[in-house]
A and B are shown apart, each in its own frame.
Chain A
Amino acid sequence: MKALRKQIDKIKPHFEKGGKFAIFRSLFDAIEVLIFVPDRVTSRGSHIRDGIDMKRVMITVWIALIPAVLFGIYNIGLQYYQSINVDAGFWQMVWFGFLKFLPLLLVSYIVGLGIEIIFAQIRGHEVNEGYFVTGLLIPLIVPVDVPLWQLALAVVFAVIIGKEVFGGTGMNILNPALVARAFLFFSYPKWMSGDLVWIANLVKGEGVPDTFSGATPLAQAALYEVDSMPSVMQMFIGTIPGSVGETSTIAILLGAAILIYTGVGSWKIIVSVFAGGLGMGLLLNAFAVNPYMEIPAYQHFVMGGFAFGAVFMATDPVSGSQTETGKWIYGLLIGILAILIRVLNPAFPEGMMLAILFMNVFAPLIDYYIVQANIRRRLKRAKSN
């Protein structure tokens, strides 16, 4: 490690302003900071020194996502071998899933970080860690068979229009990963919805029996085929077709435990999203006129991307509500809207993405009124004394 440090210190002057390779300074900076902890500390004024920085927050989310990633990789293989009716060993499935998942991950990171570095260069600041988590989230929320050029285009759109135009990491009003997904959803609906895209190679249909259906539980429910839906336990474990990382509620709950334990994700948002979803589900049950509205309210938690969105998307500290009371309102409305869109709007099989994006837009408004209410309350108290 020391030798590396020496080597980096030796070439560092070349990358500083006026140096030979000054145009690559943000790339150099990013690599240096990635290998070693940044050496910049605040020098003036009194500060509480703490090891927590953006990098540590991002790494925590990353670790929390690992169960979902691993299960997603396994599930890609499982679904594929089930669809072609072949008995395959565990490692064979994992290997197949890994080969399918790796290109998605690579495209997401290479394209996204490439744009981040270009913008950091133009604007003269260092590369932010902001894309670190987004880059892992994007491949987890798309169907496994999405064409790579479309994914690359969505990443370009998400990073530039979703984030950089607002001023980069920390300034975005929408969750960039969901912007990428929404872009794909509206641009190339053929690859983002329907019964064929959720299982690898099903679009080509080689070796698949005619009777096989790749429909997700959500699609089945939307067609009122409630009886043919997988069991709740199966959906809870996650051996169902769906976007790469969203299927397994267990893996997501593991991640949620890590996020809540470390305090990185707000438990208030997670709990209130589930509460909102449950409330809306019960309300629909009470006025049920079709089989979809009749399915038990709790069952919505294990279908589609509800749990994934609640744990990893809604809790995004940048685009979500900042005030503590605001988090409750924000989360509740996400849960309510997601189930509402899912059950009552036939045009959108899944409501989670749209619900979160919609509430992202309203989060600043919620915060504004919470802060104003607080000011009014305290003014009143000050006057009465």
Chain B
Amino acid sequence: MSKEKEREPLFSAKNLKLLKDPLGENNPITVQVLGICSALAVTAKLKPAVVMAISVVVVLSVSNVIVSIFRKSVPPRIRIIFQLVVIAMMVILVDQVLKAFAFEVSKQLSVFVGLIITNCIIMGRLEAFALANKPWESFLDGLGNAAGYGLILIIVGFFREFLGSGTIFGYHMMEKIGIYNIGYENNGFMILPPMALITVGIIIWVQRSRNKDLIDKS
């Protein structure tokens, strides 16, 4: 890395791009198709989806910063194991906090908090970005990617809970609208995992028809 002549402002256009890109045109789920498994598993209800999103934001942004700080002192041969230790530490911390302060949700999420360790997005960002960039940029990159992941989780969770259980955050929305009186029934299929896949697919479809650049050339 060459030394910079001027100090870059904290929120320069380049840095903002790091934060914004993963939310839309470089979204980890809909464009890179990473981290799908947990997106399918925790989105049957909105609340676990939100908690999962927050957990991933914390884990990814903090581990990105830690890895970035040590990027010059860690020998390349052991970098993977080093990254894993950092991620595992963060995941255990998050898991313990959830167990202490949000036990119910923690039980719903069960193994999926622990499985954040294997979430491809996190390893991917550490390898691809944090190892080659300074801590502040890495922090923004981690925040952006995790937020992009969380955004899709929350959208999918919203539709699955609303159409599948008729509630939003456990609040009986459909009942309040009074739609059951005219014969409406909750769609049991929305709660099953296949519908998460199809919902993500529809989001990808909508995104690509709005942004033609994302369509594969073939």
- Pair A186/B205 contact, Cβ less than 8 Å: no
Contacts of B187 on A, CB cut-off 8 Å? 153, 187-188
Contacts of B184 on A, CB cut-off 8 Å? 149
State in angstroms the CA–CA spacing of A186 and B189 once bound together. Answer: 5
- Pair B198/A147 contact, Cβ less than 8 Å: no
Given A161-B198, A165-B205, CB of A186 within 8 Å of CB of B185 = no
Contacts of B201 on A, CB cut-off 8 Å? 165
Given A147-B183, A149-B183, A165-B205, CB of A187 within 8 Å of CB of B198 = no
- Considering only residues 133-178 of chain A, those with a C-beta below 8 Å from chain B are 147, 149-150, 153, 161, 165
Please give me the residue from chain A that is nearest to B188 by CB atom. A187
Contacts of A5 on B, CB cut-off 8 Å? none
State in angstroms the CA–CA spacing of A230 and B192 once bound together. Answer: 35
Distance from A73 Cβ to chain B, minimum over Cβ atoms (Å):
25
Please give me the residue from chain B that is nearest to A165 by CB atom. B205
Given A147-B183, A149-B183, A165-B205, CB of A186 within 8 Å of CB of B188 = yes
- Pair A186/B183 contact, Cβ less than 8 Å: no
- Interface residue? A317 (CB, 8 A): no
- Interface residue? A205 (CB, 8 A): no
Contacts of A187 on B, CB cut-off 8 Å? 187-190
Task: Give the contact-size bracket for chain A.
Answer: 10 to 19
Distance from B166 Cβ to chain A, minimum over Cβ atoms (Å):
13
- Interface residue? A189 (CB, 8 A): yes
- Considering only residues 169-218 of chain B, those with a C-beta below 8 Å from chain A are 183-185, 187-190, 192, 198, 201, 205
Please give me the residue from chain A that is nearest to B205 by CB atom. A165
- Interface residue? A183 (CB, 8 A): yes
Contacts of B198 on A, CB cut-off 8 Å? 161
Distance from A335 Cβ to chain B, minimum over Cβ atoms (Å):
25
- Pair A188/B188 contact, Cβ less than 8 Å: yes
- Pair B189/A183 contact, Cβ less than 8 Å: yes
- Interface residue? A190 (CB, 8 A): yes
Distance from B78 Cβ to chain A, minimum over Cβ atoms (Å):
41
Residue of A161, A165, A183, A190 near B185 (CB, 8 A) is A190
Please give me the residue from chain B that is nearest to A160 by CB atom. B202
Contacts of A186 on B, CB cut-off 8 Å? 188-189, 192
Contacts of A183 on B, CB cut-off 8 Å? 189
State in angstroms the CA–CA spacing of A161 and B200 once bound together. Answer: 12
Residue of B185, B192, B205 near A188 (CB, 8 A) is B185
Please give me the residue from chain B that is nearest to A184 by CB atom. B189
State in angstroms the CA–CA spacing of A190 and B201 once bound together. Answer: 27
Distance from A151 Cβ to chain B, minimum over Cβ atoms (Å):
13
Contacts of B189 on A, CB cut-off 8 Å? 183, 186-187
State in angstroms the CA–CA spacing of A114 and B41 once bound together. Answer: 35
Distance from A142 Cβ to chain B, minimum over Cβ atoms (Å):
15
Contacts of A165 on B, CB cut-off 8 Å? 201, 205
Please give me the residue from chain B that is nearest to A183 by CB atom. B189
Contacts of A150 on B, CB cut-off 8 Å? 185
State in angstroms the CA–CA spacing of A92 and B82 once bound together. Answer: 79
State in angstroms the CA–CA spacing of A184 and B183 once bound together. Answer: 15
Please give me the residue from chain A that is nearest to B198 by CB atom. A161
State in angstroms the CA–CA spacing of A183 and B183 once bound together. Answer: 18
State in angstroms the CA–CA spacing of A161 and B188 once bound together. Answer: 17
- Pair B188/A189 contact, Cβ less than 8 Å: yes
Distance from B212 Cβ to chain A, minimum over Cβ atoms (Å):
14
Contacts of B190 on A, CB cut-off 8 Å? 187
State in angstroms the CA–CA spacing of A150 and B185 once bound together. Answer: 9
Please give me the residue from chain B that is nearest to A147 by CB atom. B183
State in angstroms the CA–CA spacing of A187 and B188 once bound together. Answer: 4
State in angstroms the CA–CA spacing of A362 and B190 once bound together. Answer: 25
Max chain A C-beta neighbours (<10 A), residue from B184, B188, B192, B201: B188
Contacts of B205 on A, CB cut-off 8 Å? 165
State in angstroms the CA–CA spacing of A235 and B113 once bound together. Answer: 53
- Considering only residues 301-334 of chain A, those with a C-beta below 8 Å from chain B are none
Distance from A123 Cβ to chain B, minimum over Cβ atoms (Å):
12
- Considering only residues 247-305 of chain A, those with a C-beta below 8 Å from chain B are none
State in angstroms the CA–CA spacing of A262 and B202 once bound together. Answer: 40
State in angstroms the CA–CA spacing of A63 and B46 once bound together. Answer: 49
Max chain B C-beta neighbours (<10 A), residue from A187, A189, A190: A187
Contacts of A153 on B, CB cut-off 8 Å? 187
Distance from B153 Cβ to chain A, minimum over Cβ atoms (Å):
21
Distance from B38 Cβ to chain A, minimum over Cβ atoms (Å):
22
Contacts of A149 on B, CB cut-off 8 Å? 183-184
Max chain B C-beta neighbours (<10 A), residue from A149, A183, A186, A188: A186
Contacts of B188 on A, CB cut-off 8 Å? 186-189
Q: Which 8 residue pairs of A and B lie closest in terms of their CB atoms, listed nearest first? A: A187-B189, A186-B189, A187-B187, A187-B188, A188-B185, A186-B192, A189-B188, A161-B198
13 A/B residue pairs, CB under 8 Å, sorted by A: A149-B184, A153-B187, A161-B198, A186-B189, A186-B192, A187-B187, A187-B188, A187-B190, A188-B185, A188-B187, A188-B188, A189-B188, A190-B185
Residues of B whose CB lies within 8 Å of any CB of A are 183-185, 187-190, 192, 198, 201, 205
Residues of A whose CB lies within 8 Å of any CB of B are 147, 149-150, 153, 161, 165, 183, 186-190
Given A165-B205, A187-B190, A188-B188, 14 other A-B residues pairs in contact with their CB atoms under 8 A: A147-B183, A149-B184, A150-B185, A161-B198, A165-B201, A183-B189, A186-B188, A186-B189, A186-B192, A187-B187, A187-B189, A188-B187, A189-B188, A190-B185
